[in-house]
Chains A and B, each alone.
Chain A
Amino acid sequence: MALDIEGLYLRYGPVVLRRCRSILRNQAAAEDATQEVFVTALRFHARLHDDAPGALLLRIATNLSLNRLRGERRHPEDADGELALRIAGAEQEGGSAESRTVARNLLAKLFRADDPLAASTRTLAFMHLVDGMTLNEVARESGLSVSGVRKRLRTLRGRLVELQEGRLAELQEDLS
């Protein structure tokens, strides 16, 4: 059955646009990303037969926007190591307001596709650390188990700690 893309756009277009805009902080880029979300939806249409596809469209919007942010960062920022440590240490559910702020760009920039699930893991991390959703909420909105979400976020935190340790080692070499 063909996807009613116009109906889908009328219902979800503004939702997707707000989501892209909140991540990209750029109106033109957000409008472009919004179109990409619906192009993706056309290709994914078999999975959109769900009665409530809003969560899937929001996840696609998040993933696309983070990919775009990642590509915009061409030079490492000196403060990355510090930010990584703060995110890695954000143990409380949803993280602090400060850690959410610093997590936004760092997740987009530094997360490596070390495994085939990297993109979705990055999106889950954004939902938890930046949006401030609890693990239960992230699990519900992504269709995963809470333990599955927790496991993936643990991997991310480990990677960020590794990154921080690498930075510290380089700093020590520079100072010696």
Chain B
Amino acid sequence: MTKPVKPVPAWLLERLALGELDAAAAADVRRRLAEAGQDADAVVADLLASNAELLAAHPASRLVPAIRRRAEARAPRRTRALWVVAPAALAGALALVLWARPAGRPSTEEAPETTTVKGDATPMSRLLVYRHQDNGDRALADGARATEGDLVQLAYRERGQAYGLLLSIDGRGTVTLHWPEQAGEAARLQAGGETRLASAYQLDAAPAFERFFLVTAARPFPVAPVVAAARALAARPADARRAPLPLGPSYEQTSIALDKPGAPAKELR
């Protein structure tokens, strides 16, 4: 029986048409096309023709100014020093808008009451967690009930701390970094009101709870030690629901835990 020929990935065809594959890779793609009974030159010609059609339908004269406007709209207002804000800008761009909903006014039935770990009167950056519902977003307080499949939106209000990150730990002991999305430095916090993350987060089947943390500092800080602290806390089932992250005094942290009743706690890994 003849082994079926696997189609050549479209990605590689695009790269072939761009002329960006090295000689060996290009030859391999052409050979595989031939094995599949396709003419490589015709495939490339089709892509180039498609390019022309798409550029006619989406001309640079219209798209490029729109791209520039978007980029400028995301530019930081606090400072023009791009190196300072790069992490936040990168995270926002990569995370993309999952639902581009205006912030709107959330329901106040469950007023957000963040559990702050530092208990003095100094204004702290505030963590906000919303549940998306058909009739709008509802702000969730610490201890609010949640279930698998809930779509939650994370947000913060900056209060004097310039850098931060958002992560969560769950009843299975898993640590999830929500923002910034890439490794490296904490993101630059946006001043002036509430800032929502570009992406929403869907709760999974992890049992018992999902606890969200906003960790901030006055100076840039690396993400990795904070993630490590979260893993350390998540590995202590007796403390994971309430105790602060084991971080030094240069950090501020605040958290909101959502309880998941009906989901039995399982042994943490």
Interface residues of A (CB under 8 A from B): 5-6, 9-15, 17-19, 22, 31, 33-36, 38-40, 42-44, 51-52, 54-55, 58, 60, 63-64, 67-68, 70-76, 94, 109-110, 112-119, 127, 131-133, 137, 140-141, 163, 166-167, 170
The interface of chain B, by Cβ under 8 A from chain A, is 6-7, 9-12, 14-15, 18, 20, 25, 50-51, 54-55, 58, 60, 63-64, 66-68, 70-71, 74, 86, 89-90, 93-99, 132, 148-149, 151, 174-178, 181-184, 199-200, 202, 204-205, 223-224, 227
**A63-B94, A112-B204, A166-B205 are contacts. A137–B12 as well, Cβ < 8 Å?**
yes
Q: Chain A residues near B11: list those with CB within 8 A.
A: 19, 58, 127, 131, 133, 141
Pull 8 A–B residue pairs with CB atoms less than 8 Å apart, ordered by A. Answer: A5-B68, A13-B60, A33-B96, A42-B68, A42-B71, A70-B98, A117-B183, A118-B181
Chain B's nearest CB lies how many Å from the CB of A87?
16
A133 adjacent to B25 (CB under 8 Å)? no
The answer to whether B63 touches A35, judged by C-beta atoms less than 8 angstroms apart, is yes
A8 to B71, CA, bound (A): 15
Query: What's the minimum C-beta distance from B147 to chain A, rounded to whole angstroms?
Result: 10
Decide: B199 and A67 in contact? CB cutoff 8 A. yes
B174 / chain A contacts, CB cutoff of 8 Å:
112, 114
User: Do B205 and A35 have beta carbons less than 8 Å apart?
Assistant: no
Alpha-carbon distance between A11 and B50 when the two chains are bound, in angstroms: 12
B94, B202, B227: the one contacting A40 at CB < 8 Å is B94
The answer to whether B12 touches A43 (Cβ under 8 A) is no
Question: A43-B93, A119-B181 in contact; A55/B6 too (CB < 8 A)?
Answer: no
Contacts of A44 in B (CB 8 A): 90
Given contacts A15-B14, A43-B71, A117-B183, 18 further A-B contacts (CB under 8 A): A5-B67, A9-B63, A13-B55, A18-B10, A33-B96, A35-B70, A36-B70, A39-B70, A39-B71, A40-B90, A58-B15, A64-B96, A112-B174, A112-B204, A114-B176, A115-B227, A127-B9, A163-B205
Q: A31-B58, A35-B63, A116-B224 are in contact. Are A167 and B96 (CB under 8 A)?
A: no
Q: Are B93 and A36 in contact (CB under 8 A)?
A: yes
- CB < 8 Å: which of A13, A52, A70, A118 contacts B63? A13
Q: In the complex, A15→B17 CA distance in Å? A: 10
Cβ B54 vs Cβ A54 within 8 A? no
Q: Is the CB–CB distance between B95 and A43 below 8 Å? A: no
Interface centre among B67, B90, B183, B223 (most CB of A within 10 A): B67
B60, A74: Cβ atoms closer than 8 Å:
no
Residue in B9, B51, B74 with the greatest tally of chain A CB atoms within 10 Å: B9
The docked-state distance in angstroms from the alpha carbon of A169 to that of B9 is 37
On whether the beta carbons of B90 and A43 are closer than 8 Å, the reply is: yes
A40 to B68, CA, bound (A): 11
Contact check, B14 vs A58: say whether CB atoms are below 8 A apart.
yes
- Given A63-B94, A67-B96, A137-B9, are A35 and B66 also a contact pair (CB < 8 Å)? yes
